A and B are shown apart, each in its own frame.
Chain A
């Protein structure tokens, strides 16, 4: 039976600070670009606040990373950085076709989750 490879934080890799920052910057940019369209689909303040909070988290993940140093460069974070770029592109694509508040509230959920994970690579 083939063993599944486990990737850990401590493994060294080739992820650079510039690459990680670029991914976080793309996430912050996509979240801010998408925010007005997502807000327009909402009627309730609670929904709007969830969207704003997700966007703010993406922005802060980026601005905090700018003042820190990339500590973890291993394959796990290389993968997360790539995942974040994909998530940002997905948000860009979905932004113009949002149907209702439920979709709007969920729009940034995955993006903020991945951005928060990548932010852990900075110390």
Chain B
């Protein structure tokens, strides 16, 4: 019975981050008074002293670092996706202008809708990056000031993203400076309780974000639109290419540069000759497949970001359950996102 009481008190204390040391002493006294058992009082005092202190600060630091890195990669991929959409819109303008007409309003609205989603999603990931920066400072330097407001700004960005998607999210802001106001008996205990509470606040926001990212209708709309995007860009390039406005020499050089070769002086003449039709078809296909690959990367980037958010939620939960999170283990969860980021930026590819 006593043991159960102790466990119950410990769990209650873990769940109440604002409990101050004076309250804890009061609880001890009350329990001892009611039970009239001095040994029980000592036991409770010991439990209170250790409390939730088994949360690993090192694990929290590892999580903060990987959280920041992964969200920055996701934000970068969204930025590239945004420029791909802008180029596709340019392509639409080009071939409509070529035919002496304008892009229909409905198509413009479809593109704008996609860009609004990208803008709102980028804002969320930018805020998430800032949140992990603040979480990192809390973990490493115990800098609690401003952490709650940063987390609340993340919540606002998630709510705003939901509005863009015509969804409802009711993420309520945490009390002002609630993390900084957390008390405890020892400095270490205050620190670990602050980290645990901040982790829980971040996790709650990540959970809402994951639900939005995993929404089937949103996902279908965003990912399948990429095929149209690639086709539009390829159509504009084909039109320019067939009218002889594009120089294929850099592309030919790129195809053979690994072998130390480059496009010959007569390359364009050969392609434009009657015998060059098949060469032209081959190069056109290279251009189209490149466009399709980049469009596919947008979809893969979206999926990888969604998976990483789910992984972060799980890791926050593990941290709050006092499990150890190693840097190597955490790095494994961002491998795919890293590969996609590198594919978007071939210069940084390994």
Contacts and interface: CB of A to CB of B under 8 A. Distances in A.
Q: How large is the interface on A (under 10, 10 to 19, 20 to 34, 35 or more residues)?
A: 20 to 34
A67 B221 contact: yes
A45 B225 contact: no
Contacts of A45: 99-101
Interface in B73-103: 95-96, 98-101
A48 B228 contact: no
Interface string B238-263: 11001100000000000000000000
A39 B106 contact: no
Interface stretch (B31-39, B141-149, B154-162, B229-237): B229-237
Contacts of B107: 56, 59-60, 63
Contacts of A64: 106
Contacts of B236: 36
A25 interface: yes
A102 interface: no
Tell me the interface secondary structure of chain B in the complex.
Answer: helix
Given A52-B101, A56-B107, A35 B224 contact: no
Interface residues of B, number: 26
Contact of A36 (B95, B96, B224): B95
Given A33-B235, A40-B239, A40-B242, A49 B224 contact: no
Given A21-B220, A25-B228, 5 more contacts: A32-B228, A32-B231, A32-B232, A48-B100, A56-B104
Interface of B: 95-96, 98-101, 104, 106-107, 110, 217, 220-221, 224-225, 227-228, 231-232, 234-236, 238-239, 242-243
Interface of A: 21, 25, 28-29, 32-33, 35-37, 39-40, 45, 48-49, 51-53, 56, 59-60, 62-64, 66-67
